[in-house]
Structure 1
């Protein structure tokens, strides 16, 4: 069949032009809607980060209008500072403990709350109470409980055990701080795991049960692998919480005894706000940021980008 000359060529030429015009309209429309959000992110996120990065390259007391540029001197000083290495060591031990206990406690409570129990709503509310409790109030209560004359030692005395001075021993204080952090975030982690549990495909568990798999086997080979993406999220959240810790540490131990609980947040606060060295304090903050980012990326790659191991 004969096609009139020139018609196919004209059709092919006009169609790409219409497609390109339609794509430009889409891009402009998307940019228009994204502009307010990008402006907010730029003003309140990107600008503070860039500004803090510049401050970390200066010597500034926080009040002088002139910031003396010193280059990488703050970072060189950081690498040679034994207090920084002590804080990094304390933070890493603290972070490992918080991550492990957060996963174990959150998953355990979620499994219990997912079981057919009477009054599940009540128990869910009780376990979530620490998450909505003021951090300062919780730390004050724990501090009184762990006092030599406090509730914990009084209970130990009832069974003939002499309680130690919890907050004046380096490792006991760090352990108490770890438990306080895990307890504070227990309800949040349990809700995350509970949400993930209720979204799991029940057909897989029913098929495994028909094949003879008991509860422990279903938990080990189905539930835990299927919850791997949520576990990754909980670990990252616990890691960020640990590296950003300040309020609980400040109220419970103040960084003591002898730097035993002086996490990076406490060191940054002391250098910047107590000693007035904002350049050095900001350098500590940036090193903390890159440490958390690096560990998260390594963990993300090691976990298979959050994919379930059953795929």
Structure 2
């Protein structure tokens, strides 16, 4: 007889009809709460993706009214399309630069905020506020700031520096979009890193300090391993978001100058809504999904080598 049984004064027996009925009610209540989320995933996720796969196997142009089965011809065409691969390369460049800048800056800000300095609440609110601003509004403000005669070049001119045409120079256009998006999203990653840093046991850092470890060594050997699960989460969500960038490209550069900022999601949009080639656009979407899935799988599988789940 266990301690629990002794407290209630009886041994556990088989479930009565009443207890089984209560269990069924509990299960039904649980399913009722989960059902909206499950239905939402099915209706808004899996079903549309199934249609995309189906459309990718057809030559479909709504304006003309054609909807002809062509099998894998769209994918064969995609493999030979230099524009698609150039757009993927631009997307990878964008994603890599965004990840390095965003994660590095977010980590630095989180470490600074974790020092319990005066004014950290205001500082945190300042960097987090862009996260809650509409993406379109955010980009429109920056469109003014980085214009050839905009705020940034005006400020540079006051100190005798002639700024470039940020959005029309192939050297600067993609970098400018990256910087704008870094400031848009760094606040969220900063909060995630800050929460992870505040969960690191202080006694572990103190023990390392007593052993003579420098602050840099403590951060590298104690703090980073303990927050590595959060780092993995941030890397994955930042990668997925970077591979799906669209709003800043559409508003700021329209894929130019030339094709220097034509990322794959923007090429998909133009193929579908400007060229009205929905079948080919669907094939591009399927390949993009597979690429993102592979990247996420590679990042997840790498966790065994550098993510520490236990203190």
**Alignment deviations for residues 55-95 of structure 1 (CA, whole Å, 9 cap, x no partner):** 11111123566621111111111111111111011000000
Query: Contact 2:232–2:307 at 8 Å: present in 1 too?
Result: no
1:266 partnered with 2:240: no
Residue in 2 aligned with 1:138? Answer: 138
Once residues 115 and 121 of structure 1 are traced to their aligned partners in structure 2, the CA distance between those partners, rounded to angstroms, is: 12
Measured after TM superposition, the shift of residue 42 of structure 1 is: 2.2
Residue in 1 aligned with 2:301? Answer: 301
1:38–1:135 Cα change, 3 Å? closer
Residue in 2 aligned with 1:5? Answer: none
1:65–1:40 Cα change, 3 Å? farther
* TM-score normalised by length of structure 2: 0.86
Residue in 1 aligned with 2:50? Answer: 50
1:298–1:33 Cα change, 3 Å? same
1:34–1:117 Cα change, 3 Å? closer
Once residues 69 and 250 of structure 1 are traced to their aligned partners in structure 2, the CA distance between those partners, rounded to angstroms, is: 31
My pick for the range that moved more, 94-103 or 116-125, is 116-125
Residue in 2 aligned with 1:193? Answer: 193
1:199–1:63 Cα change, 3 Å? farther
SS of the residue 1:185 aligns to: helix
List 4+ stretches of structure 1 deviating above 3 A. Answer: 24-40, 62-66
Query: Contact 1:255–1:266 at 8 Å: present in 2 too?
Result: yes
SS of the residue 1:289 aligns to: helix
Query: Contact 1:57–1:279 at 8 Å: present in 2 too?
Result: yes
**Alignment deviations for residues 24-67 of structure 1 (CA, whole Å, 9 cap, x no partner):** 97997676765554333322222111111101111112356662
Once residues 303 and 203 of structure 1 are traced to their aligned partners in structure 2, the CA distance between those partners, rounded to angstroms, is: 26
Query: Contact 2:169–2:257 at 8 Å: present in 1 too?
Result: yes
Measured after TM superposition, the shift of residue 265 of structure 1 is: 1.0
Which aligned pairs between 1:247-262 and structure 2 lie closer than 5 A?
247-262=247-262
1:175 partnered with 2:151: no
Once residues 211 and 275 of structure 1 are traced to their aligned partners in structure 2, the CA distance between those partners, rounded to angstroms, is: 66
Which aligned pairs between 1:141-152 and structure 2 lie closer than 5 A?
141-152=141-152
Query: Contact 1:59–1:69 at 8 Å: present in 2 too?
Result: yes
Residue in 1 aligned with 2:38? Answer: 38
Which aligned pairs between 1:148-297 and structure 2 lie closer than 5 A?
148-297=148-297
Query: Contact 2:61–2:278 at 8 Å: present in 1 too?
Result: yes
1:168–1:108 Cα change, 3 Å? same
Once residues 293 and 98 of structure 1 are traced to their aligned partners in structure 2, the CA distance between those partners, rounded to angstroms, is: 19
**Alignment deviations for residues 218-240 of structure 1 (CA, whole Å, 9 cap, x no partner):** 11211222221111111111111
SS of the residue 2:130 aligns to: helix
Measured after TM superposition, the shift of residue 214 of structure 1 is: 2.1
1:249–1:118 Cα change, 3 Å? same
Residue in 2 aligned with 1:107? Answer: 107
* TM-score normalised by length of structure 1: 0.86
Gaps of 5+ in 2: 1-13, 15-19
Cα RMSD between the aligned structures?
Answer: 2.5
Query: Contact 1:300–1:306 at 8 Å: present in 2 too?
Result: no
Gaps of 5+ in 1: 1-14, 16-20
